[in-house]
Chains A and B, each alone.
Chain A
Amino acid sequence: MMKSKNIILITLLLFAFFINSCDKVNAPFVEEYDYCFGNKKVLIEDYTGHGCVNCPGAAVLAHKLKEDFCDRVVIIGVHAGYFAKPNFENNPIFSADFTTEAGNAWDTFFGNSSLGNPNGLIDRVKSATGYVLYPQSWETVASPLLLEPAQATITISNDFNSDTKELSTLVKTEFLEDLTSKYMVIVCITQDNIIAPQKNNNEEIGPTPIDSNYVHNHVLRGSLNGAWGEYLSGTGEVAMGVKYEKTYTKTFPVDWIPKDCHVVAFVYNEETKTVVQVEELAVLD
Chain B
Amino acid sequence: MKKIISIITLVLAISSSVYAQGFLGKSEVHGSFEIDAMYYQADDALGITDSLINGNVFGFNAFADIIYTLGDFSAGFRYEAYLPPIAGFDRNLEGQGFPYLWASYTTGKFSFTVGNFYEQFGNGFTLRTYQEWTLGYDNSIVGARVIYEPIKGLIFKGVYGTQRYYWAKYEKNGRGIVKGFDGEINFNDVFSSLSNSKVRLILGGSAVSKYQSDQLKSLKLPQNVASFAGRFNLGIGKFNFSSEYAYKINDPSAVNNYIYKSGDAFIFSGSYSTKGLGVFAQFKRIDNMSFKSDHSVTSNALDINFLPPLIEAHTYMLAAMYPYATQPNGEMGFQVELTYKVPKKSKIGGKYGMGISLNYSQMNDIAREKANDTAYIGQTGTMGWKSDFFKFGEQIFNRDLTIEIDKKFSKNFKSIFKYIYQDYDIATILGHTGDPNVKANIAIVDMTYKFSSTKSIRWELQGLWTKEDKGDWAAVLVEYTVSPHWFFSVADQYNYGNKHSYEQIHYYTGSFGYTMQTTRFALTYGRQREGVVCVGGVCRQVPASNGFSVTISSSF
Task: Tell me whether A115 and B433 are in contact in the complex, defined as CB-CB below 8 angstroms, given that A7-B150, A82-B541 are known contacts.
Answer: no
* A114 CA to B91 CA, complexed, in Å: 7
Question: Is B357 in contact with chain A by the CB < 8 A criterion?
Answer: no
Question: Is A140 in contact with chain B by the CB < 8 A criterion?
Answer: yes
Question: Is B296 in contact with chain A by the CB < 8 A criterion?
Answer: yes
* A33 CA to B352 CA, complexed, in Å: 76
Question: Is B166 in contact with chain A by the CB < 8 A criterion?
Answer: yes
What distance in Å separates the Cβ of B383 from its nearest Cβ neighbour in chain A? 8
Binding-face segment, B35-43, B248-256, B474-482: B248-256
Is the Cβ of A53 less than 8 Å from the Cβ of B433?
Answer: yes
Is the Cβ of B209 less than 8 Å from the Cβ of A30?
Answer: no
Question: Is B491 in contact with chain A by the CB < 8 A criterion?
Answer: no
User: Which A residues are in CB contact (< 8 Å) with B183?
Assistant: 11
* A150 CA to B174 CA, complexed, in Å: 24
* A4 CA to B431 CA, complexed, in Å: 53
User: Which A residues are in CB contact (< 8 Å) with B252?
Assistant: 25, 29
Residue of B nearest to A57 (CB): B537
Q: Which of B197-225 contact A (CB under 8 A)?
A: 205, 207-209, 211, 215-225
When each residue 500-515 of chain B gets 1 if its CB lies under 8 Å from chain A and 0 otherwise, what string results?
Answer: 1011000000000000
User: Which A residues are in CB contact (< 8 Å) with B537?
Assistant: 54, 57
28 contacts between A and B (CB under 8 A): A10-B156, A15-B207, A15-B228, A18-B179, A21-B224, A22-B222, A22-B226, A23-B223, A25-B250, A27-B383, A30-B219, A53-B539, A54-B431, A82-B543, A83-B541, A108-B54, A114-B91, A115-B91, A115-B540, A116-B540, A129-B92, A130-B92, A134-B296, A134-B298, A136-B298, A139-B216, A201-B433, A201-B434
Q: Which of B353-411 contact A (CB under 8 A)?
A: 376, 381-383
* A139 CA to B427 CA, complexed, in Å: 28
* A17 CA to B209 CA, complexed, in Å: 10
User: Which A residues are in CB contact (< 8 Å) with B382?
Assistant: 29
Is the Cβ of B91 less than 8 Å from the Cβ of A111?
Answer: yes
Is the Cβ of B434 less than 8 Å from the Cβ of A23?
Answer: no
Question: Is B44 in contact with chain A by the CB < 8 A criterion?
Answer: no
Interface bracket on B: 35 or more
Question: Is A14 in contact with chain B by the CB < 8 A criterion?
Answer: yes
State which of A3, A21, A118, A119 has its C-beta within 8 Å of the C-beta of B209. A21
**Residues in chain A within 8 A of chain B (CB atoms):** 3, 7, 10-11, 14-15, 17-19, 21-25, 27-31, 33, 52-54, 57, 68, 82-83, 90, 108, 111, 114-119, 127-130, 134, 136-137, 139-140, 143-144, 199-201, 204, 208-210
Excluding A11-B156, A22-B209, A116-B541, 15 further A-B contacts by CB distance (< 8 Å) are A14-B158, A18-B207, A21-B179, A21-B211, A21-B226, A22-B225, A25-B252, A25-B260, A27-B383, A52-B539, A53-B539, A54-B431, A115-B538, A134-B254, A204-B376
* A110 CA to B230 CA, complexed, in Å: 45
Is the Cβ of A115 less than 8 Å from the Cβ of B228?
Answer: no
Is the Cβ of B165 less than 8 Å from the Cβ of A129?
Answer: yes
Question: Is B168 in contact with chain A by the CB < 8 A criterion?
Answer: yes
For chain B, what secondary structure do more than half of its interface residues adopt (helix, strand, loop), or is it mixed?
loop
User: Which B residues are in CB contact (< 8 Å) with A136?
Assistant: 254, 296-298
* A15 CA to B204 CA, complexed, in Å: 13
* A136 CA to B171 CA, complexed, in Å: 19
State which of A31, A83, A114 has its C-beta within 8 Å of the C-beta of B220. A31
Is the Cβ of B260 less than 8 Å from the Cβ of A33?
Answer: no
Is the Cβ of B431 less than 8 Å from the Cβ of A23?
Answer: no
* A53 CA to B431 CA, complexed, in Å: 8
Is the Cβ of A25 less than 8 Å from the Cβ of B220?
Answer: yes
What distance in Å separates the Cβ of A50 from its nearest Cβ neighbour in chain B? 14
When each residue 234-276 of chain B gets 1 if its CB lies under 8 Å from chain A and 0 otherwise, what string results?
Answer: 0000000000000001101010000010000000000000000
Task: Tell me whether A29 and B538 are in contact in the complex, defined as CB-CB below 8 angstroms, given that A24-B222, A137-B296, A143-B217 are known contacts.
Answer: no
| Across the A-B interface, the 7 shortest Cβ-Cβ residue pairs | A209-B434, A136-B254, A128-B168, A201-B433, A116-B540, A23-B222, A18-B207
User: Which B residues are in CB contact (< 8 Å) with A199?
Assistant: 433
What distance in Å separates the Cβ of B339 from its nearest Cβ neighbour in chain A? 39
**Most chain-A CB neighbours within 10 Å: which of B174, B208, B433?**
B433
What distance in Å separates the Cβ of B252 from its nearest Cβ neighbour in chain A? 7
Residue of B nearest to A115 (CB): B91
User: Which B residues are in CB contact (< 8 Å) with A127?
Assistant: 168
Task: Tell me whether A139 and B538 are in contact in the complex, defined as CB-CB below 8 angstroms, given that A54-B431, A129-B165 are known contacts.
Answer: no
Residue of A nearest to B183 (CB): A11
Residue of A nearest to B168 (CB): A128
State which of B218, B221, B228, B502 has its C-beta within 8 Å of the C-beta of A33. B218
What distance in Å separates the Cβ of B264 from its nearest Cβ neighbour in chain A? 15
Is the Cβ of A208 less than 8 Å from the Cβ of B433?
Answer: yes
Is the Cβ of B218 less than 8 Å from the Cβ of A19?
Answer: no
Is the Cβ of B165 less than 8 Å from the Cβ of A128?
Answer: yes
Task: Tell me whether A54 and B539 are in contact in the complex, defined as CB-CB below 8 angstroms, given that A23-B225, A128-B169, A128-B174 are known contacts.
Answer: yes
User: Which A residues are in CB contact (< 8 Å) with B297?
Assistant: 134, 136
Is the Cβ of A14 less than 8 Å from the Cβ of B181?
Answer: yes
Task: Tell me whether A143 and B218 are in contact in the complex, defined as CB-CB below 8 angstroms, given that A134-B299, A199-B433 are known contacts.
Answer: yes
